[in-house]
């Protein structure tokens, strides 16, 4: 996984998942901060069908800070 961030009306965070085991199922992901990680729903979440072995997720309009990321490939 690779993560890139840049400023533009808040932070844009891109997470790149490479070499997924297969292109079946879904990739469930959630972006957290210290107040939500393992305690509550994430700041932003996604559920993406993994039709390819590389998937790019983009989280936009984030405030500056430290983040934790959780993911699950259901296949």
Looking at the predicted structure, is the pLDDT value of residue 74 above 80? yes
Domain count, the chain: 1
pLDDT of residue 32: 93
Residue range(s) defining the domain that contains residue 6: 2-73
pTM of the full predicted structure? 0.68
- Report residue 30: phi and psi, to 5°: -150, 135
The Cβ-side half-sphere exposure at 67, using a 13 Å CA radius, reads 23
Q: Is 42 helix (H, G, I), strand (E, B) or coil?
A: coil
State how far the Cα of 25 lies from the Cα of 18, in Å rounded to an integer. 15
First to last CA, the chain: 18
Q: What is the mean pLDDT of the chain?
A: 82
> In terms of pLDDT, which residue wins out, 5 or 38?
38
Per-residue pLDDT, averaged over 34-43, amounts to 90
CB atoms within 10 A of CB 26: 14
Q: How confident is the model at residue 2 (pLDDT cuts 50, 70, 90)?
A: low
């Amino acid at each position: 996984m690779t993560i890139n961030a840049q400023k533009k009306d808040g932070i844009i965070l891109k997470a790149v998942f490479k070499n997924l085991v297969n292109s079946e199922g879904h990739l469930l992901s959630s972006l957290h901060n210290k107040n939500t990680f393992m305690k509550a729903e994430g700041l932003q979440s996604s559920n993406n069908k993994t039709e390819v072995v590389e998937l790019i997720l983009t989280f936009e309009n984030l405030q500056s800070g430290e983040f934790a990321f959780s993911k699950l490939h259901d296949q």
